[in-house]
């Protein structure tokens, strides 16, 4: 411990208990936070479970660990010439002993510091010592690589010497969309670098004359082939068809709405996927405006899965640099996924029972079942014109149910996403622990209620409200009852206001829609807002219809009175289509403690 650093009172007991539970465990590490001069705790670092690639890129464990003396001796002990980060050198050597690292998912370590200040300033000695520790680890592991310091102090890129003799087969399923497809293929060819490349275009029954003309042009490009695969759209089947015809040693699944904008992305994927213990690698994908679309997949958020740091600025570091370095993740999107051919074939390819949603997640989970790791590689960066290459995902409900049957709790549990982080967004914000005593009147109406549906009004401006309500949503034995809740509308009286809200449901994709309120009330404080939100109700026998511009629609019946905020109307950002919701109630809507009707 450095001066000012402290342990939680239970730290030693928890560490010893975990070490004694398994003779094989060499290291136990925990979470940490900072304590300001006033004594307030802030900036918690809620670490992922053991992530060896993350440790090779950044000192994500730091000093918050306990280790067996015998393991320290076996690893060669602390070495002072790696100051000011001798613990990084030791942790890397300990990880080479082949013994498990265990993670206590609690804050057991506190360091002094004020909000907004970096834990480790960018001092040259730290950068040099960290680089030396990582470079020495590469030498011990017989990894031919250059270790390059990155913009974030104390993070490094391990640039392996990639064999450019291995051919990569890009598998691009598509149906029409000639403009997108041409941009994708031309950009890939322009930025392929020195990597031997084959492009396998899998045509799912295109009919447009522009597409036919483009395919005639592309067919004469060296290394480009077009396969015909008409029929109902099934992304998994199209990829499997392309993989069977491909000749490359490495397969790279690529959506037709992805665009390469610079060279080096293929080398970065090969750099990671050629490690024998790695099963799949995903890229950093950006929206056309430069914000992040994908930096790894998180399980168990937004009612299903989410993309880490979606909408964050491109140059943002992420949560303790996790967006800027190579690290383990539970899954990566199939919009750009690289895997070795033998790995793909051993896993049985993509599951054709998942035609659109979750086939990439399922594939990654099967790889991890085989003991392989899945990596996110930020140095492979592309643009993703998301949603432009396909329509509405109609099978989302069935796909999620299928994943729950196959994977159970694993589908909702992510070892690389701490359970203390929010489940209602993708920004790694800490989840707020509910404090029932502060709002006894508000929570009284929820006690004993089994919740399934939760509706969050993002316009209410009450950060953490949804986490508090979600903490009550664990269904009791016998199955959950249906209940809808919403954050209180905060609006200026007499105006029509549209608020984006998010619906999270165990059987439906998260939907971003709008809440229209005409002549709403102004809610002055959070407690009153919470109370209003939890006391609205609809009568038994009501139904709620959700429908969009495609054929997809669902009706939800309420067999008992349940909480509901308002009729939902217009746009769905997630679904890329317009969503309409209509409430059919047999009688009046009961809006408690509200002077004017909110239902329009």
Question: Does the pLDDT at position 392 exceed 70?
Answer: no
Structural contact between residues 534 and 455, judged by C-beta atoms closer than 8 angstroms = no
Total domains, the chain = 3
Question: Does the pLDDT at position 161 exceed 80?
Answer: yes
| Total H helices, total E strands in the chain | 15, 26
Question: Does the pLDDT at position 565 exceed 90?
Answer: no
Shared domain for 374 and 460, answered yes or no, is no
pLDDT at 121: 66
- The model's pLDDT over 230-246, given as tens digits with 9 standing for 90+, comes to 999 999 999 999 999 99
Shared domain for 188 and 111, answered yes or no, is no
- The model's pLDDT over 523-536, given as tens digits with 9 standing for 90+, comes to 334 344 334 333 33
Given pLDDT bands bounded at 50, 70 and 90, which one contains residue 119? low
Coil, helix or strand for 353? coil
Distance of CA 322 to the CA centre of its chain: 12
pLDDT at 432: 53
Mean pLDDT of 135-153: 95
Mean pLDDT of 563-569: 29
SS (H, E, C) 313-339: CCCCCCHHHCCCCCEECCECCCCEEEE
pLDDT at 37: 86
Phi–psi pair at 16, nearest 5 degrees? -65, -40
Asked whether residue 17 is domain-assigned, the answer is yes
Shared domain for 212 and 347, answered yes or no, is yes
C-beta neighbour count of 128 within 10 angstroms: 14
Asked whether residue 313 is domain-assigned, the answer is yes
Q: Is the dihedral of CA 307, 312, 317, 318 positive or negative?
A: negative
Mean pLDDT of 160-183: 92
Asked whether residue 593 is domain-assigned, the answer is no
Domain end position, chosen among 119, 140, 160: 160
Domain end position, chosen among 361, 396, 412: 412
Chain mean pLDDT for the chain: 76
- The model's pLDDT over 49-88, given as tens digits with 9 standing for 90+, comes to 999 999 999 999 988 899 999 999 999 999 989 999 999 9
Shared domain for 231 and 367, answered yes or no, is yes
Q: How far apart are CA 104 and CA 28, in angstroms?
A: 7
Structural contact between residues 286 and 382, judged by C-beta atoms closer than 8 angstroms = yes
Asked whether residue 251 is domain-assigned, the answer is yes
Q: DSSP code of 478?
A: T
Shared domain for 540 and 563, answered yes or no, is yes
Q: How far apart are CA 254 and CA 339, in angstroms?
A: 12
Shared domain for 282 and 330, answered yes or no, is yes
Element at 407 (helix H, strand E): helix 396-407
Phi–psi pair at 92, nearest 5 degrees? -65, -40
Shared domain for 239 and 304, answered yes or no, is yes
Question: Does the pLDDT at position 549 exceed 70?
Answer: no
Element at 107 (helix H, strand E): strand 101-112
Q: What is the pTM of this model?
A: 0.75
| Domain span including residue 344 | 168-412
Angle ∠(534,535,541) on CA atoms, nearest 5: 105
| Beta-carbon-side half-sphere exposure of residue 302 (alpha carbons within 13 Å) | 19
Question: Does the pLDDT at position 372 exceed 70?
Answer: yes
Phi–psi pair at 369, nearest 5 degrees? -60, -30
Shared domain for 29 and 144, answered yes or no, is yes
Q: How far apart are CA 415 and CA 368, in angstroms?
A: 12
Asked whether residue 41 is domain-assigned, the answer is yes
For 552-557, which contacts have Cβ atoms below 8 Å and span 24 or more sequence positions?
Answer: 552/392, 552/394, 554/397, 554/508, 556/453, 556/482
Given pLDDT bands bounded at 50, 70 and 90, which one contains residue 395? low
Shared domain for 110 and 42, answered yes or no, is yes
Mean pLDDT of 237-258: 98
Q: How far apart are CA 295 and CA 312, in angstroms?
A: 10
- The model's pLDDT over 259-280, given as tens digits with 9 standing for 90+, comes to 999 999 999 999 999 999 999 9
Q: How far apart are CA 138 and CA 146, in angstroms?
A: 9
Shared domain for 190 and 152, answered yes or no, is no
Q: How far apart are CA 467 and CA 434, in angstroms?
A: 8
- The model's pLDDT over 294-303, given as tens digits with 9 standing for 90+, comes to 999 999 988 7
- The model's pLDDT over 492-527, given as tens digits with 9 standing for 90+, comes to 222 223 333 333 333 333 333 333 222 233 333 434
Q: Cis bond leading into 84, ω under 30°?
A: yes
- The model's pLDDT over 414-445, given as tens digits with 9 standing for 90+, comes to 999 998 888 878 999 887 543 322 333 333 44
Q: How far apart are CA 93 and CA 136, in angstroms?
A: 10
Shared domain for 115 and 258, answered yes or no, is no
CATH number of the domain that residue 303 is part of: 3.90.550.10
Asked whether residue 427 is domain-assigned, the answer is no
pLDDT top residue among 119 and 554? 119
Q: How far apart are CA 145 and CA 274, in angstroms?
A: 13
Asked whether residue 367 is domain-assigned, the answer is yes
Shared domain for 207 and 354, answered yes or no, is yes
Domain end position, chosen among 139, 160, 181: 160
Asked whether residue 578 is domain-assigned, the answer is yes
């Amino acid at each position: 411990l450095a001066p000012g650093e402290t342990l939680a009172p239970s730290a030693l007991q928890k560490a010893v208990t975990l070490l004694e539970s398994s003779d094989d465990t060499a290291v136990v590490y925990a979470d940490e936070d900072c304590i300001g001069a006033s004594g307030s705790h802030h900036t918690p670092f809620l670490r992922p479970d053991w992530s060896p690639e993350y440790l090779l890129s950044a000192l994500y464990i730091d000093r918050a660990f306990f280790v067996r003396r015998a393991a320290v001796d076996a690893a060669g002990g602390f070495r002072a010439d790696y100051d000011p980060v001798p613990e990084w050198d030791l942790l890397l050597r300990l990880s080479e002993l082949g013994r498990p690292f265990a993670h206590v998912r609690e804050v057991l370590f506190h360091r002094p510091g004020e909000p907004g200040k970096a834990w480790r300033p960018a001092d040259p000695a730290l950068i040099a010592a960290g680089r030396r520790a990582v470079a020495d680890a590469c030498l011990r592991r017989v990894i031919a690589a250059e270790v390059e310091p990155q913009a974030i102090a104390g993070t490094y890129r391990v640039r392996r010497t990639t064999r450019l003799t291995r051919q990569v087969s890009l598998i691009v399923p598509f149906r029409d969309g000639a403009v997108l497809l041409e941009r994708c293929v031309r950009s890939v060819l322009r930025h392929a670098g020195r990597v031997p490349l084959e492009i396998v275009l899998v045509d799912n029954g295109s009919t447009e004359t522009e597409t036919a003309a483009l395919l005639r042009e592309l067919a004469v490009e060296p290394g480009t082939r077009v396969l015909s695969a008409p029929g109902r759209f099934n992304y998994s089947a199209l990829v499997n068809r392309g993989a069977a015809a491909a000749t490359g040693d490495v397969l790279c699944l690529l959506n037709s709405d992805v665009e390469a904008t610079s060279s080096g992305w293929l080398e970065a994927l090969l750099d990671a996927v050629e490690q024998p213990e790695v099963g799949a690698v995903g890229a950093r994908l950006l929206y056309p405006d430069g914000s992040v679309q994908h930096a790894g997949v998180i399980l168990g958020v937004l009612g299903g899965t989410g993309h880490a740091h979606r909408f964050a600025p491109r140059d943002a570091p992420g949560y303790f640099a996790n967006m800027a370095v190579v690290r383990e993740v539970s899954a990566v999107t199939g919009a750009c996924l690289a895997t070795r051919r033998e790995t793909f074939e051993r896993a049985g390819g993509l599951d054709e029972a998942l035609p659109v949603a979750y086939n990439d997640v399922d594939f990654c989970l099967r790889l991890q079942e085989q003991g392989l790791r899945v990596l996110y590689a930020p140095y492979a960066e592309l643009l993703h014109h998301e949603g432009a290459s396909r329509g509405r995902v109609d099978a989302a409900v069935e796909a999620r149910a299928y994943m729950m049957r196959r994977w159970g709790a694993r589908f909702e549990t992510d070892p690389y996403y701490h359970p203390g982080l929010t489940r209602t967004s993708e920004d790694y914000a800490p989840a707020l622990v509910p404090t029932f005593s502060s709002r006894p009147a508000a929570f009284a109406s929820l006690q004993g209620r089994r919740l399934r549906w939760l509706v969050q009004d993002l316009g209410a401006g009450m950060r953490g409200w949804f986490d508090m309500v979600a903490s009550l949503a664990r269904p009791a034995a016998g199955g959950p009852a249906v209940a809808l809740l919403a954050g209180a509308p905060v609006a200026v009286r007499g105006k029509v206001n549209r608020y984006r809200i998010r619906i999270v449901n165990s059987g439906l994709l998260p939907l971003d829609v709008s809440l229209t309120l005409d002549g709403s009330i102004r809610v002055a404080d959070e407690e009153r807002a919470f109370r209003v939100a939890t006391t609205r109700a609809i009568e038994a026998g009501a139904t709620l219809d959700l429908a969009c511009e495609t054929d997809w629609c669902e009706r939800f019946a309420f067999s008992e009175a349940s909480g509901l905020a308002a009729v939902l109307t217009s746009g769905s950002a997630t679904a890329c289509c317009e969503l309409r919701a209509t409430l059919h109630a047999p009688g009046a809507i009961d809006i408690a403690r509200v002077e004017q009707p909110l239902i329009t």
